[in-house]
Amino acid sequence: MERNVLGVKRTERIRNTTLRSQTQIADVAQKAAKLKWRWAGHVCCTPEDLWAEVTIQWSPKSVGHRGRPRKGWRDELDAYDKAWVQLAQDRDAWRDQEEAFAQQWDTSG
């Protein structure tokens, strides 16, 4: 989208980060990662019997299909930090980790 706005072709080999800095359009992947991080923090502070808490504990059943295993909602959070549930209890530390999670999530996912 940024390329169309600026009239830049892919053959010019300009990086997307450079184009985003010129257009000031937010990166969708980073925004999604930040929203997921914030939602995970809210869910960790809820009572255990609410549906949101139950859904993060859910694990997709594997019926033996070929291909990569299915991922659950919390798999990316576990890959970033195994102790993210305990980290969420400290709100200041949780907010400090948001940008790092979004950067990590953007580069690997």
Residue 35 has pLDDT above 70, yes or no: yes
What does the pLDDT read at residue 27?
77
pLDDT in tens, 54-109: 777 776 666 777 888 777 788 888 888 888 888 888 889 989 998 888 887 555 54
Q: Which amino acid is at 21?
A: S
Average pLDDT over residues 25-50: 84
Least confident of 5-9, 28-32, 42-46, 69-73: 69-73
Give yes or no for a contact between 73 and 13, defined as CB atoms under 8 angstroms apart. Answer: no
DSSP code, position 88: T
Q: How far out from the chain centre does Cα 30 lie? A: 7
DSSP code, position 104: H
DSSP string, 9-43: -GGG---HHHHHHHH-PPPHHHHHHHHHHHHHHHH
pLDDT in tens, 68-77: 877 778 888 8
What does the pLDDT read at residue 109?
47
Average pLDDT over residues 18-39: 85
